[in-house]
Structure 1
Amino acid sequence: MNLRIIIPLIFIFFLYLYLCINFILKTNQTRFLPKWLWAILCVISIPLGGILFIIFGRKDN
């Protein structure tokens, strides 16, 4: 395998996880699930978990 492809993909993977978890922690309230469950969902199902949180999980103030 070519490391020039794998290393940027791994970096993007961890950056996406960091941004999702950070966004969940900074949100005051969520809908449908508690914050910790949204975080687990984001970690288990990348990128679907983060997309689902943005669409359904955020509670507009």
Structure 2
Amino acid sequence: MAKCDVCQKGVHFGIKVSHSHRRSNKQWKPNVKKVKAIVNGSPKTINVCTRCLRSNKVERAM
């Protein structure tokens, strides 16, 4: 499951095109980490993308 619980960022689909212009399906997944964070005052393990971790949208639990 590559989906951020904070910003709902998920998988993007597209077409990979090679040098010879042969086309095949491709998917780009966000960089999601399992993080122990404080949710509603209690620590909980959630899936968070690294963009949300860098921008301090998540309060980490120690």
TM over 0.5: no
- Decide which structure has greater helix share: 1
Structure showing greater Rg: 2
- Give the TM-score normalised by structure 1: 0.30
- Give the TM-score normalised by structure 2: 0.29
